[in-house]
Amino acid sequence: MNSKQLIAVAAVVILVIAGVVAAYTLTRDGGGEGGGTVDYGSDLKVFGNANMDSAIDQADIDYINDYLNGDVELTEFCDANRDGKVDVADAEYVQDLIDRRDGTVVWYVDGIDEIQSVTWPLDTFVVLSNSPQLMALAVGLDDTRIIGYTKADSVLFQSFEGAALLSSSSLDDITVMTSNGIPDAIITQSSYTTAITKETRDLYAQMGTDIISVAGMDGAESASSALTLGFLVDCVEQSQEYSKWCTNMLAEIEQKLSAVPDSERKTALVWYGGFACAGYDDQYTAALELAGGKTVADWTGYQPLDADRSTWVLNYHPEYMIRIFTMGYSSTEDSRQALYEKYGSIIEGMDAYKNGNFCVIDFTLPQTLRIAYMAEFLYPEIFGEGYADQWHQRLVDIYGLDYDVDGQFIFTAEDVK
């Protein structure tokens, strides 16, 4: 049993960041206060990241020492050991983080802005559901360390196939969670409405398992989320590549849309999950807005949109309807068309459908990438055909897949045979 398992610490992880930053610049100038900084596109939300850049390194030790000398301002992450004060012990703690010393408690800010911790080493993982698996894949975890997962895809998650495919993604099913051994951590997702309880965390902590919570449904936060997860699970380099990919893509989309005034933004509704049509405060609506769209929703949460209860939607007149649903990397053209026809029949009375402004975008994609597909669908004259596919191919290359992206992940009226 490793030292991590001897310390009962609950945990959770990841991230943070709202808003899209400008395109990244990778620099280390070696000068200025606290030494040089390195930017991989976003902020690493780990205590000890004293200069609040994208990495924990000697520059953070220098920054803490400069703060103690009165040369720089106090930052949120200077108190690396979370003991309520900043002193030389924090500089020593940062060195433990750099050395990845076993038994180190690593404090970080999770996806709903709560401070959580994990205890190193973290060697084995269970990963639950689509978004957490996508983040784990993005930072470079595979079945050499993953012992259980819940969503299969013979192409996308082929590097997980040596692990057990679990029958449940609920933390309440402890027997399932531990069916292939007790993991050092479980990577899952949480939100303000589905926060993981203290009781659940304590229960897992008793057997030495941390819970790492990935907030993966808000595309704008993915860069920081990846950096934080990558640091916690010792997959730093690939997490930095993914962070740069996220930041550059979202910044480019924002720049391309900057000339479109609010009065000319396309209106739309986004439909996801079983039959959930996103309200104005929904995360899918937030993604739509980053893609340059405006929702016509005047409700919170979501409203059901299905064959029995969809007549209400005829009271709304969006220019576009976007359906998010699982197609998968191994899906066929016929199966994609069947999905388009199935869900199109539910909204066939809407002008958006009649005008050919309905599409199905693959749920299998990370939310950040769905933004690119939505932007291309709404503004083909700005982005051009294949824009999202190009960014998708770069992501596939980060994943390390031998796979060609060529229009499989969005199905529109133009694709109907």
* Gap between the Cα atoms of 323 and 1, Å rounded: 47
pLDDT at 248: 94
| Residue 337, H or E segment | helix 333-344
Which tokens sit at 265?
């933004």
pLDDT at 218: 64
Common-topology check for domains 3-243 and 259-415? yes
pLDDT tens, residue by residue, 251-273 = 999 999 999 999 999 999 999 98
Which residue type sits at 49?
Answer: N
pLDDT at 12: 28
pLDDT above 80 for 188: yes
Find the range with the poorest average confidence among 26-30, 62-66, 130-134, 279-283. 26-30
pLDDT at 3: 41
pLDDT at 41: 67
pLDDT at 262: 96
Q: How confident is the model at residue 217 (pLDDT cuts 50, 70, 90)?
A: low
Which tokens sit at 35?
């030494």
pLDDT above 60 for 397: yes
CATH code for the part of the protein at 259-415: 3.40.50.1980
pLDDT at 214: 80
Considering just the CA atoms, what is the radius of gyration of the chain in Å? 22
Q: For the chain, give the mean pLDDT.
A: 89
pLDDT at 193: 63
pLDDT at 189: 86
pLDDT above 60 for 324: yes
Distances (CA, A) of 115 to 10, 13, 51, 192: 11, 9, 18, 14
Mean pLDDT within 119-130: 96
pLDDT tens, residue by residue, 137-173 = 999 999 999 999 999 999 999 999 999 999 999 999 9
pLDDT at 274: 85
Q: How confident is the model at residue 37 (pLDDT cuts 50, 70, 90)?
A: low
pLDDT above 60 for 105: yes
Spatial contact of 118 and 185, defined as CB atoms under 8 Å apart:
yes
Q: Which of the two residues, 27 and 365, has the higher pLDDT score? A: 365
Q: How confident is the model at residue 309 (pLDDT cuts 50, 70, 90)?
A: confident
Q: Which of the two residues, 307 and 44, has the higher pLDDT score? A: 44
pLDDT at 308: 79
pLDDT above 50 for 8: no
| Residue 205, H or E segment | helix 198-205
pLDDT at 140: 96
Q: Where are the domains of the chain?
A: 3-243, 259-415
Q: How confident is the model at residue 195 (pLDDT cuts 50, 70, 90)?
A: confident
Q: How confident is the model at residue 338 (pLDDT cuts 50, 70, 90)?
A: very high
Mean pLDDT within 406-417: 95
pLDDT above 70 for 4: no
* Gap between the Cα atoms of 159 and 331, Å rounded: 18
pLDDT tens, residue by residue, 372-396 = 999 999 999 999 999 999 999 999 9
Spatial contact of 102 and 335, defined as CB atoms under 8 Å apart:
no
Mean pLDDT within 314-318: 96
Q: How confident is the model at residue 121 (pLDDT cuts 50, 70, 90)?
A: very high
pLDDT above 50 for 352: yes
Phi, psi of 293 (to 5 degrees): -95, 165
Q: pTM of this prediction?
A: 0.87
Percent of the chain clearing pLDDT 70 (strictly above): 89
DSSP track, 146-157: EEEES---TTTT
* Gap between the Cα atoms of 229 and 10, Å rounded: 16
Mean pLDDT within 267-291: 95
What fold does the segment set 3-243 form as a domain?
Answer: Rossmann fold (3.40.50)
